[in-house]
Amino acid sequence: MNFEDLKQQIEDAAKKAFLEVYEKHGAEKIYSFALYSDEGAMTVCPAANSMENLKEADEEDFLYYKYEPAEWAYEMDGAEEEFDEICSSLRNILDQHEDDEWFAGFQNKLYSTCIEVLEKLKNEDFFRKITGEDVFLIFTVSDYEFEKEEQKEMIVRLNDNAYKDEYLGWMNTWGAY
């Protein structure tokens, strides 16, 4: 698989998804955007949330609902055709390989590609130009936890705003895992 082509596809789809969600829900104050995958590296999907949706979040677990894409209102929302095409390509490539070592390399490259896309969009001020505000960015994998240091590095890499500090502070409450 040509990961440079995939990176461009993911970037185009991410931009389109965010613009579509913002067009529909911008008045709700969109504050977050994520790309996420699965442990099998078969999917790449977008997610976003708004401050309006956070009003319904449980106070005791507020930061969890604020920063966990699986809990966000606009999960798999926007650029559906583009993300479906990306997922189909991933599944087709995966169907051609059964080697565990190959898979580990593919999975790592897919995950790092998604993070690179988010970082590029952040560095271009893509989200700020649309919302006029900082936007929290994250890459996550369903049913998978990154090592704590990897998670910290990603948050710092993707966020140089108040969200980063709040997220890192929240991470300190997690305890050892």
Give me the domain span that covers residue 137. 3-172
The span from the CA of 110 to the CA of 7, in Å, is: 9
177 assigned to some structural domain: no
Please write the tens of the pLDDT for every residue from 124-152: 999 999 999 999 999 999 988 888 999 99
Please write the tens of the pLDDT for every residue from 96-117: 998 999 999 999 999 999 999 9
What's this model's pTM, rounded to 2 decimal places? Answer: 0.95
Q: Is 94 helix (H, G, I), strand (E, B) or coil?
A: helix
87 assigned to some structural domain: yes
79 assigned to some structural domain: yes
pLDDT at 170 over 60: yes
Instruction: Indicate the number of domains in the chain.
Output: 1
Q: What is the largest CA-CA distance in the chain?
A: 48
